[in-house]
Copies of this chain bind each other. A is one copy, B any other.
């Protein structure tokens, strides 16, 4: 089983690589090689099989042809330009999120071996005036260029799969929280920042009210779900290969209560409530009443609680435990 991760240098790609290294098998067979591809060199995990680092630019068909080798059995396609970047730079988003995905599907077609391809879409394909709840049968009505480009890639993945050119599985990822590392400029950055920074002893700004609700998943479950999606039999998927990855709807207040349950009252005191109308305007256009019935029926799972999610963040990303300031 030869496995390739596109976007392996990113948040989820790096964790997926480590999870595969721990696991050693995929689709019931031993992994015999793992290729980690990204624009920048990805971190290399310890693994019981050869791990290779590849420089790739998915926006460039020649780079894709050179880097996706014949004999690749399973591809995880996580390479993308994030939402705020795609909104600021239409050309970059079109070239990577849409064109890059098409380049990957075309390379699979050229290989002729119909590899399994797990594609990370996003709940940003949803939005606007569509009735609640948002289900797998809801109109994709993206309100951003990022969401549009993900929706286009979903349509193409379905068509290329129908034609037998690739064995696609598209998952609309919920907002993944808690994301470690430095804050980014995404409108959703606070959804991780108000836990990550206080648990590290730093202040964070919450730009929305405590009753703001959204659809979340922790990174561990997300990686498990990506692996589970790769292991599904094509026959179980039917014609439409894309579906929402299970998440849970939480309010900011519920999530902060979960942090307090796990880490005591101190972190929550580091949250400064400062309404930011521009952020509120953007995030209030997002959908939160989302159902992932297809994926749940196929064995993918959501988090049990946000408290678990905080515990996992402490274990995985703050092994010294919360900082008491």
Chain A positions within 8 Å of B, measured between CB atoms, are: 90, 128-131, 136-145, 148, 151-152, 155-156, 158-159, 162-163, 238-240
Contact = CB atoms under 8 A, between A and B. Distances in A.
A131 B142 CA distance: 21
A128 B90 contact: no
B137 A139 contact: yes
A197 B213 CA distance: 60
A155 B148 contact: yes
Copies of this chain, count: 2
B239 A128 contact: yes
A99 to B, nearest CB: 10
A128 B240 CA distance: 8
B163 A90 contact: yes
A162 B147 CA distance: 13
A156 B140 CA distance: 12
B163 A158 contact: no
Given A128-B239, A152-B152, A156-B152, A163 B145 contact: yes
Given A148-B158, A152-B155, A143 B90 contact: no
Contact of A137 (B130, B144, B239): B130
A145 B163 CA distance: 9
A162 B143 CA distance: 8
A295 to B, nearest CB: 16
A60 to B, nearest CB: 17
A124 to B, nearest CB: 12
A291 to B, nearest CB: 13
Contacts of A148: 155-156, 158-159
Given A136-B139, A155-B155, 7 more contacts: A90-B163, A128-B240, A129-B238, A140-B140, A141-B239, A141-B240, A148-B155
